[in-house]
């Protein structure tokens, strides 16, 4: 379980940025069965990917995240699809290392700014990015990355906001991840291509491990 000691917002953001720089590729995991959680996390860790995002999109998501946190200590677990202050509080209670949102309301940004849990708000526009910055968040999720304008949009955002670093998610896959990661303002990418639902249902953990190996192979 992650421990969250009192630190300044600046230290919290610096630690989060360092974590994402190490991760580079963060699988976005949507789990339908708790029993799949630990084997899936172990398969990814075996393939060299330790930083994981478990989305709060299913009834078993919180239980699945708790199982991974308890059973796979090598994993660095983030909670995704955090859309309310209650979701954020639950993520902290679970012992997550960080949390992410697909977007951010004023209430969520305020709650996250007051929380010790490192948080990555989702943005798709310059106005949303300005709101995140006003609350102290200079690492954001660009979502949905491809539908929101793709590489061109992120390059354009980089001009007026050179201090911001991004984790694009939404439409990222094995074919374009390297192109996104080549952008100087991108520190990591997120995507579900590493953990396809069919492999999870079939328990095809070896295929997931191999896919993880291939994803990180170019930067070894």
The residues carrying an active-site annotation are 53, 141
Closest CA to 17 of 167, 174, 147, 131: 167
Kind and range of the H or E run holding 123: strand 122-123
Tell me the CA distances in angstroms from 85 to 17, 81, 115, one per residue in order.
22, 12, 10
Q: Is the peptide bond before 144 cis (omega within 30 degrees of 0)?
A: yes
Q: Is the distance from CB of 186 to CB of 17 less than 8 angstroms?
A: no
């Amino acid at each position: 379980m992650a421990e969250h000691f009192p630190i300044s917002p600046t230290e919290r953001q610096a630690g989060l940025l360092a974590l994402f720089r190490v991760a580079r590729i963060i699988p976005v995991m949507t789990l339908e069965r708790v029993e799949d959680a630990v084997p899936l996390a172990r398969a990814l860790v075996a393939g060299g990917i330790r930083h994981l995002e478990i989305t709060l999109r299913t009834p078993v998501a919180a239980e699945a995240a708790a199982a991974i946190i308890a059973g796979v200590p090598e994993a660095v677990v983030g909670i995704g699809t955090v859309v309310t202050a209650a979701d954020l509080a639950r993520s902290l209670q679970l012992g997550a290392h960080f949390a992410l949102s697909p977007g951010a309301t004023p209430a969520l940004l305020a709650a996250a700014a007051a929380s010790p849990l490192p948080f990555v708000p989702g943005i798709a526009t310059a106005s949303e990015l300005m709101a995140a910055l006003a609350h102290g968040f200079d690492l954001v999720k660009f979502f949905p990355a491809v539908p929101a304008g793709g590489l061109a949009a992120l390059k354009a955002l980089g001009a007026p906001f050179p201090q911001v670093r991004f984790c694009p998610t939404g439409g990222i896959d094995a074919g374009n991840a390297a192109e996104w990661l080549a952008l100087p303002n991108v520190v990591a990418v997120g995507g579900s291509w590493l953990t396809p639902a069919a492999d999870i249902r079939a328990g095809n953990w070896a295929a997931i491990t191999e896919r993880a190996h291939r994803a990180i192979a170019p930067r070894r």
